Amino acid sequence: MPRVQDSGGGYALPALRFVLLEWYQQQGRDLPWRHTRDPYAIWVSEIMLQQTQVATVIPYYQRWLTTFPAIADLAAADLEAVLKQWQGLGYYARARHLHQAAQQIMANHGGQFPCTYETVVALPGIGRSTAGAILSAAFNQPQPILDGNVKRVLSRLYGLTVPPKQAEAQLWQWSTQLLCRQSPRDFNQALMDLGSTICTPRQPLCHACPWQGHCWAHRHQLTHEIPRKMSRSPLPHKKIGVAVIWNTAGEILIDRRPPTGLLGGLWEFPGGKIEPNETVQQCIQREIREELGIEISVGEHLIDIDHAYTHFRVTLHVYYCQHVSGTPQPLACEAIRWVTPEELDQFPFPKANIAIIQAIHERGRPPA
């Protein structure tokens, strides 16, 4: 069982709420989505902020609302246009879920973002904490939140001695108890700001924290150990052979991934995992034969790219190739297309592939 203190480490809940809200009025961040009560704009910001830093999100958020200013605009857009706007933010399922949810809102809710917890949490890509954040920010509803920042704050405040993943129910209980029901919008925003700017993962600014005197971890000098970490295995490392396939017209073959799963709906340069006792060149020829039904010759090395995802990392070994024979077929993808190097920038690609495109622009077409 996690160690718990009485409410707020021995302090009354009203005092905790008061000092946090007072701190927020003076120190809260000026963020663009805090200048609106439009649930659509707030929803977009909350989805973008999952797994992504505020500074990265702001320009994407502003461009998104310029391109898709209302739910109807997002719902009517082509998925490829949606993914292109998202390109570079990563975790592309978030963009697909936004698109799907917008279409559901148009079909089932008359184009109006719903205002009940049960309806909001039923939308694609919205979990309990995100629903709470949207409803409190847009409608000032007293809904608790529990994102990563809030978990860290509560773990330290109450002295949680197990990893947060092992105490989700307890953390939700604390968040619900702490919530200021008179000012839930400001309280939740304050809680997120506290975690983002003061109660940071490393070297928290305890001297500037409104809850310094209430915090169990600070009192026991254990902020560097709380939250407790889960033991982690090393990330699997996949080595991938990638083909930039040219035809005699100076075009490059790209394919679109299936709409679901990792990087679903994005375009990429074809290739696959290098098998044991297989050279990169052999891998590329085999993968292209299996995935596209064509024969190619593998030419000069273009670039190697290391990229980390949440649960694994990859090294892409990229080679220029020439189309030799056969008509490309989408045997293991959703679509294929021959495009000029200049047209590559029009398509949504995974982040790792952007470096390939830059290398193509720098190197140019291989000699005939």
- Identify the CATH number of the domain in which residue 242 sits: 3.90.79.10
**Spatial separation of the C-alpha atoms in residues 58 and 206, rounded to whole Å:** 27
Q: Is residue 225 part of a domain?
A: no
**Spatial separation of the C-alpha atoms in residues 131 and 118, rounded to whole Å:** 9
The two structure tokens encoding residue 352: 């790792």
Looking at the structure, do residues 63 and 193 belong to the same domain, yes or no? yes
Q: Is residue 29 part of a domain?
A: yes
Active-site residue (options: 46, 268, 287, 291):
46
Looking at the structure, do residues 154 and 180 belong to the same domain, yes or no? yes
Looking at the structure, do residues 187 and 46 belong to the same domain, yes or no? yes
Looking at the structure, do residues 91 and 212 belong to the same domain, yes or no? yes
Q: Is residue 228 part of a domain?
A: no
Q: Is residue 251 part of a domain?
A: yes
pLDDT of residue 367: 78
pLDDT of residue 11: 53
Q: Total domain count for the chain?
A: 2
Q: What is the CATH number of the domain that holds 127?
A: 1.10.340.30
**Spatial separation of the C-alpha atoms in residues 290 and 74, rounded to whole Å:** 36
**Spatial separation of the C-alpha atoms in residues 64 and 235, rounded to whole Å:** 33
3-state secondary structure the chain: CCCCCCCCCCCCHHHHHHHHHHHHHHHCCCCHHHHCCCHHHHHHHHHHHCCCCHHHHHHHHHHHHHHCCCHHHHHHCCHHHHHHHHCCCCCCHHHHHHHHHHHHHHHHCCCCCCCCHHHHHCCCCCCHHHHHHHHHHHHCCCCCCCCHHHHHHHHHHHCCCCCHHHCHHHHHHHHHHHCCCCCHHHHHHHHHHHHHHHCCCCCCCHHHCCCHHHCHHHHCCCCCCCCCCCCCCCCCEEEEEEEEEECCCCCEEEEECCCCCCCCCCEECCEEECCCCCCHHHHHHHHHHHHHCCEEEEEEEEEEEEEECCCCEEEEEEEEEEEEECCCCCCCCCEEEEECHHHHHHCCCCHHHHHHHHHHHHHCCCCC
**End-of-domain residue from the set 190, 219, 248:** 219
Q: Is residue 169 part of a domain?
A: yes
**End-of-domain residue from the set 219, 246, 262:** 219
Q: Which residue in this structure is represented by tokens 């953390």?
A: 171
Q: Is residue 230 part of a domain?
A: no
Tens of pLDDT along the chain (368 residues)? 233 344 444 458 999 999 999 999 999 999 999 999 999 999 999 999 998 999 999 999 999 999 999 999 999 999 999 999 999 998 999 999 999 999 999 999 999 999 999 999 999 999 999 999 999 999 999 999 999 999 999 999 999 999 999 999 999 999 999 999 999 999 999 999 999 999 999 999 999 999 999 999 999 999 999 999 887 788 899 999 999 999 999 999 999 999 888 888 999 999 999 999 999 999 999 999 999 999 999 999 999 999 988 788 999 999 999 999 999 999 989 999 999 999 999 999 998 899 999 999 999 988 76
Looking at the structure, do residues 176 and 45 belong to the same domain, yes or no? yes
**Spatial separation of the C-alpha atoms in residues 151 and 119, rounded to whole Å:** 25
Q: Are 226 and 217 in contact (CB under 8 A)?
A: yes
Model confidence over 239-249: pLDDT tens digits?
999 999 999 99
**Residue 80 known to be catalytic:** no
pLDDT of residue 278: 95
Looking at the structure, do residues 93 and 136 belong to the same domain, yes or no? yes
Q: Which residue range(s) make up the domain with 328?
A: 237-363
The two structure tokens encoding residue 174: 């604390």
Looking at the structure, do residues 263 and 193 belong to the same domain, yes or no? no
Looking at the structure, do residues 283 and 180 belong to the same domain, yes or no? no
Looking at the structure, do residues 263 and 353 belong to the same domain, yes or no? yes
Looking at the structure, do residues 178 and 262 belong to the same domain, yes or no? no
Q: Is residue 3 part of a domain?
A: no
The two structure tokens encoding residue 106: 């148009």
**Spatial separation of the C-alpha atoms in residues 122 and 15, rounded to whole Å:** 35
Q: Is residue 368 part of a domain?
A: no
